[in-house]
Amino acid sequence: MRDMFYTNYDMMMMYMKSFSSGVYFRVSKELLEEFTRVARFLGLSRSEAIRRAMELFIERYRGNEKTLTEEMRGILKGSKLSSRDLEEMHMVIR
């Protein structure tokens, strides 16, 4: 039977699990290597760098739907997506 006492590591892991969610996504090896290099240069873990990148992304696009739609149109210019497809994509992002 395990002692009723927790190590600092156990307590840290319980704390982290109570406030966080894991995310899995795929990126190219080259992108991951460059991202890791820059994060380490800044003294950040990859997780912390990703959290900060997500916060910056939200800051940039929150309340700025018109700009986001315009950017999507610019990215997708020349594609075969209709205006309706773009609006549906916009609704998913919002």
Q: In the chain, what are the domain boundaries?
A: 26-62, 64-94
- Please check the confidence at residue 76 and state whether its pLDDT lies above 70: no
- Please check the confidence at residue 70 and state whether its pLDDT lies above 90: no
- The confidence score (pLDDT) of residue 25 equals 86
**Are the beta carbons of 62 and 33 closer than 8 angstroms?**
no
- The confidence score (pLDDT) of residue 7 equals 79
- Please give the single-letter amino acid code of residue 25: F
pTM over 0.85: no
**Are the beta carbons of 36 and 46 closer than 8 angstroms?**
yes
Distance of CA 82 to the CA centre of its chain: 27
Q: Tell me the C-alpha distance between 88 and 64, whole Å.
A: 17
- The confidence score (pLDDT) of residue 1 equals 47
**Are the beta carbons of 68 and 90 closer than 8 angstroms?**
yes
Q: What's the chain's average pLDDT?
A: 76
Q: Tell me the C-alpha distance between 75 and 93, whole Å.
A: 15
